[in-house]
Structure formats: structure tokens, C-alpha cells
């Protein structure tokens, strides 16, 4: 039989984080609530990063934000590539300037 993952409410997570921020030792809070200290640290980081919006969903917030950042980076990269290609195309299509008869290279025959 497999162990079932525990799920914690937003209020519980905020309570634990506030205890740590109030000065309670991380190890003590972990023992009292039967949590791994790393989990409390992660909750604290999420709370610092997202303030009161932290713990809003089922833990997918940071994954969604990471995906959004990746897509925004990709859009930026493609925009730069498009600009570069447009510039190269304009240069290729521009008429080649022939040296004029009155002031070309300065050589006379």
C-alpha cells in the first residue's frame, strides 16, 4: 500500500510561515507540525516571492510562471531574429550602386 501525500491548506501554510518569521526555530516548527524543514523553507520562499497570493492554487503557480517566462523569452528571441532577417532582406533587395563616371574610384584611364 502506498502512502498518500498530505495536502495542506493555505491557512496552515501561512500559519507555519508566520511562526518562522516570528522567530520560531525552523527545526522546532518542523517537529511540531511533523514537516520536513525543506518544505517549510520552500513555503517561506513562496510567501516572500508572492506575498498574499502565495498558496492560491494546487502548486502549479511557479510552473506556470516558469513556462510563461520561457515563452516570453522565446518571443523576444524570435522578434530579434525577424528583425535581423528583414534587415538582411532589405540589403539584398537594395539596388547595387554603380560608381559614377564623375567621381568613382579616382582612377582615370
Whether 27 and 42 share a structural domain: yes
Whether 47 and 69 share a structural domain: no
Q: What angle do CA 23, 27, 32 make, to 5 degrees?
A: 90
> Does residue 9 carry a pLDDT above 70?
yes
Whether 43 and 32 share a structural domain: yes
Model confidence pLDDT, tens digit, residues 13-59: 999 999 999 999 999 999 999 999 999 999 999 888 877 777 776 65
Whether 13 and 52 share a structural domain: yes
Average of pLDDT values for 86-103?
A: 78
Model confidence pLDDT, tens digit, residues 79-93: 999 999 999 999 988
> Does residue 109 carry a pLDDT above 60?
no
Please, what is the average pLDDT of the chain? Answer: 84
Whether 36 and 67 share a structural domain: no
Which domain does 35 fall in, by range?
8-56
Q: Is residue 1 part of a domain?
A: no
CA distance 35 to 27: 9
Predicted structure pTM score: 0.51
Q: What angle do CA 58, 60, 66 make, to 5 degrees?
A: 165
Amino acid at each position: 500500500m502506498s502512502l498518500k501525500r498530505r495536502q495542506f491548506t493555505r491557512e496552515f501554510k501561512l500559519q507555519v510561515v508566520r511562526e518562522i518569521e516570528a522567530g520560531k526555530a525552523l527545526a522546532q516548527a518542523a517537529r511540531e507540525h511533523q514537516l520536513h524543514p525543506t518544505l517549510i523553507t520552500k513555503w517561506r520562499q513562496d510567501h516572500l516571492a508572492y506575498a498574499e497570493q502565495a498558496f492560491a492554487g494546487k502548486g502549479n503557480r511557479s510552473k506556470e510562471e516558469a513556462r510563461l517566462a520561457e515563452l516570453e523569452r522565446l518571443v523576444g528571441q524570435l522578434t530579434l531574429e525577424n528583425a535581423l532577417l528583414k534587415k538582411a532582406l532589405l540589403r539584398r533587395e537594395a539596388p547595387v550602386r554603380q560608381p559614377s563616371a564623375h567621381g568613382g574610384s579616382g582612377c582615370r584611364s
